[in-house]
């Protein structure tokens, strides 16, 4: 199989985390990192970066590039993922052209690049209800939805039994700000990856409609000559 280095792009609540879990279940050898999960872990650990992140996240604003870039690139490096043979997927990073350029520069000396970017195109009209019903298990990043994929025991993570929580940014008000930021940064980021020739788009109102399309793209990349 070919290495796969994939970025999932999509509006808040479009299902990046959900599609990541589905892909990880399908392919044993694929691993993932979510910039949002890394930041929420920093908040939970009460670090200096966590204090900064909490403020930006609660307001629905993107953190300055340098903070997130440093955090994610360190994570990739400590997992020994900066290699041309590595296979992984990223959720939520890069989110700006500056972050995309930093990732590219970091990978280049290792003979590695991102080889696929997939935009999850979900109508905004279906998203708000999803995130108002979302509960998360912060240590693992697992996400639940009270109607789509409820936990087996109310308020508890399926795997650890630990309590679930609401994200501070999952309110109608903050969601508006997150969506506006997404719209603003999406076009230049898409233009950047379109120029390199690795941008794809999958569309649908539900994650179950999107997943088979995503799976087909990923399978094609993993097995191409």
CB of 2 or CB of 74, closer to ligand G5P:
74
Which neighbouring-strand residues pair with 90? 7, 33
For residue 137, give the 3-state DSSP assignment: strand
Please, which residues bridge with residue 162 across strands? none
Torsion of CA 9, 15, 16, 21, to 10 degrees: -150
Q: How far is CA 44 from CA 51, 52, 54, 74, 136, in A?
A: 9, 12, 10, 18, 13
Which range binds ligand G5P by CB under 6 A, 76-84, 90-98, 153-161, 194-202?
A: 90-98
Pick the closer one to Mg ion by CB: 17 or 60.
17
Which residue lies nearer to ligand G5P by CB, 5 or 134?
134
Does 164 interact with ligand G5P (rule: CB under 6 A)? no
Told to check if 17 binds Mg ion by CB under 5 A, we report: yes
The answer to whether residue 63 forms part of the interface with ligand G5P (CB under 6 A) is yes
Secondary structure (H, E, C), 152-218: CCCCECCCCCCECECCCCCCHHHHHHHHHHHHHHHHHHHHHHHHHCCEEEEECCCHHHHHHHHHHHH
Site string (107-146) toward ligand G5P, x via CB under 6 A: -----------------------xx--x--------xxx-
In the complex, the smallest distance separating the C-beta of residue 225 from ligand G5P, rounded to whole angstroms, is 32
94 binds Mg ion (CB under 5 A): no
Contact indicator for 99, 93 with CB cutoff of 8 Å: yes
Which residue is at the shortest CB distance from ligand G5P?
36
Pick one of 79, 206, 212, 216: the residue that binds ligand G5P (CB under 6 A).
206
Strand order in the sheet with 31-34: 31-34, 88-91, 5-10, 116-121, 199-203
Per CB under 5 A, residues contacting Mg ion are 16-17
Binding-site residues for AMP: 35, 40, 61-63, 92-95, 99, 167, 178
Per CB under 6 A, residues contacting ligand G5P are 10, 12-18, 35-36, 39, 56-57, 60-63, 68, 92-93, 95, 99, 130-131, 134, 143-145, 147-149, 169, 178, 206-207
């Amino acid at each position: 199989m070919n290495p796969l280095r994939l970025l999932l792009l999509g509006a808040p609540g479009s299902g990046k985390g959900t599609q990541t879990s589905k892909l990880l279940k399908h392919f044993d050898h694929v691993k993932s990192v979510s910039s949002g999960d890394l930041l929420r872990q920093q908040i939970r650990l009460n670090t200096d970066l966590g204090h900064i992140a909490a403020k930006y996240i609660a307001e629905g604003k993107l953190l300055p590039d340098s903070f997130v870039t440093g955090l994610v690139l360190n994570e990739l490096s400590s997992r020994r993922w900066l290699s041309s043979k590595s296979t992984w997927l990223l959720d939520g990073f890069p989110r700006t052209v500056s972050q995309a350029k930093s990732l590219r520069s970091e990978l280049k000396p290792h003979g590695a690049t991102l080889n696929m970017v997939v935009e999850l195109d979900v109508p905004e009209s279906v998203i708000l209800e999803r995130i108002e019903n979302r509960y998360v298990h912060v240590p693992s990043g697992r996400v639940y939805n009270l109607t789509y994929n409820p936990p087996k025991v109310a308020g508890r993570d399926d795997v650890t039994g630990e309590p679930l929580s609401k994200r501070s940014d999952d309110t109608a008000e903050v969601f508006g700000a997150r969506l506006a930021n997404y719209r603003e940064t999406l076009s230049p980021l898409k233009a950047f990856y379109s120029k390199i020739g690795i941008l794809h788009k999958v569309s649908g109102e539900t994650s179950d409609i999107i997943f088979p399309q995503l799976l087909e793209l990923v399978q094609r990349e993993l097995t191409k000559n």
